[in-house]
Amino acid sequence: MASTFDIGFAKTARISGGLAILLQVAGEAAAGTGDVDPDGAVERAAGIAKFTGKALKTLDVLAPHGASADRIVVIGLGEADKLTAHDWLKAGGAAATKIRGTDKATVYLDAPGVTLTATNAADFALGMQLGAYSFDTYKTKKTDDEEAKSGKAVKVTLVTAGASAAKKANEVSEAVAEGVILARNLVNEPANVLGPVEFADKAKALEKLGVEVDILTEREMKKLGMAALLGVAQGSVRPPRLAVMHWKGGKEKDRPIAFIGKGVVFDSGGISIKQAAGMEDMKGDMGGAAAVIGLMHTLAARKAKANVVGILGLVENMPDGNAQRPGDIVKSMSGQTIEVINTDAEGRLVLCDALWYCNETFKPQFMVNLATLTGAVMVALGSHHAGLFSNDDTLSGRLTAAGLATNERLWRLPLGREYDKMIDSKFADMKNTGGRYAGAITAAQFLQRFVKDTPWAHLDIAGTALGSPTDEINQSWSSGFGVRLLDEMVRANYEG
């Protein structure tokens, strides 16, 4: 895995060698120059390079004359009155790339012209942790840059007058970083290593944080009547699992809130097999489940004051002689029957039983499911927004607001009776695809048939969970999309 940072906070720091990072807003001086650079090497270099503190622009000064550091890097923050939480995250990510390969670093956060809050400092630290991430577990030979990423933890001191408050705020950020990195690791793992049983074991490991975990086997799911989920799994030699996680951090009488993740550890398409090109990416078809387990880790690690259920439907979709066929009809746990038109529309078959089980068992305040469900949502939204479908305006609004706050953005797409008719079947209660058009919508319409009147939202994260554009806080194929979004939504609305 990537190198991590051993991050500490201090009100002051005495530098002797190493890297010093300063922050600068547009039109102001850089932070900490008097302590680090008494001879003004940074000011001279900035003039020569025409560095003005524009957002994420950097100035790198090697062996500055008279300075206490061996190297000074200045990172621009842009205009002070336009700084957002995500800007602090990105600045931390930019710092991570500069720290890589060093032994120690000191970062001066109190830039002139900015009133730094404890949350800003914690966001910067979170950005550093996320920006440093890479997945190199299976590389036996590495380039120099990869060796730098994979080395021992680098000691980093963040200097700010509000060090005590920043340290406390960073306890929450560390929990968020752990959850995102867990989600990224799971999506990046190859499918021969991470099957349904192994994924369920990852969920079971959350017990050490105080999460109650039950793992339902194939036998138990058969007794419950989960033929839709089990139909997807029947072509694989690897048995399915349903992981049920329960964090009880709220009042005993409070109904839980619930998150459900699609966990198809590999999706060949089944009998409706996918084309070979790009099929290797289908190891990431469990991005929804990865986000849910990452969220549950974060909530437990930061002792969230809420009752939360997380459910993972874990299967592998393979095309052997026992595999489900197009034209098969299965009965879901709800009792509703489904004609399987396309075995590659398997995620909704997994989720429909998981949603019904969740609703019947826990009677939650709401349910949110996450899934890398359709290519159609990528055609509509690309990779900068996930698709949001919901039967409840309040829930939809809270999710959208959390997406804007974390920059894990959502765009609401419609549901409607006209689309619902597209999945009616001649032979069963419904079919699992509605044809070529409105594919993301008809998938959501399918899921809506399994939630009754419970407030519900479906997040189609096919374009954002994996292969999304890299930036300062994510250089990985897997983004961990959804963990920060949902943690923010819970914190802002459901913890009293």
Q: What is the pLDDT along the chain (496 residues), one digit of tens a residue?
A: 445 899 999 999 989 899 999 999 999 999 888 889 899 999 999 999 999 999 999 999 999 988 999 999 999 999 999 999 999 999 999 999 999 889 999 999 999 999 999 999 999 999 999 999 999 999 988 776 666 555 678 999 999 999 999 999 999 999 999 999 999 999 999 999 999 999 999 999 999 999 999 999 999 999 999 999 999 999 999 999 999 999 999 999 999 999 999 999 999 999 999 999 999 999 999 999 999 999 999 999 999 999 999 999 999 999 999 999 999 999 999 999 999 999 999 999 999 999 999 999 999 999 999 999 999 999 999 999 999 999 999 999 999 999 999 999 999 999 999 999 999 999 999 999 999 999 999 999 999 999 999 999 999 999 999 998 899 999 999 999 999 999 999 999 999 7
- For 135, residues 6+ apart whose C-beta sits below 8 A from its C-beta are 1, 2, 184, 185, 188, 476, 477, 478
Q: What residues act catalytically?
A: 274, 348
What is the b/e burial string over 439-473, where b = at least 16 CB atoms within 10 angstroms of the residue's CB? bbbbbbbbbbbbbeebbbbbbbbbbbbbbbeebbb
The amino acid that residue 151 corresponds to is G
- Beta-carbon contacts of 408 under 8 Å, excluding residues fewer than 6 positions away, are 386, 402, 464, 481, 482, 484, 485
Q: How far apart are CA 457 and CA 341, in angstroms?
A: 25
Q: Which class for 94: exposed (0-12), middle (13-18), buried (19 or more C-beta within 10 A)?
A: buried
Which two structure tokens, joined as six digits, stand for 77? Answer: 């923050």
Q: Taking the model in full, what pTM does it have?
A: 0.96
Which helix (H) or strand (E) covers residue 184, if one does? helix 163-188
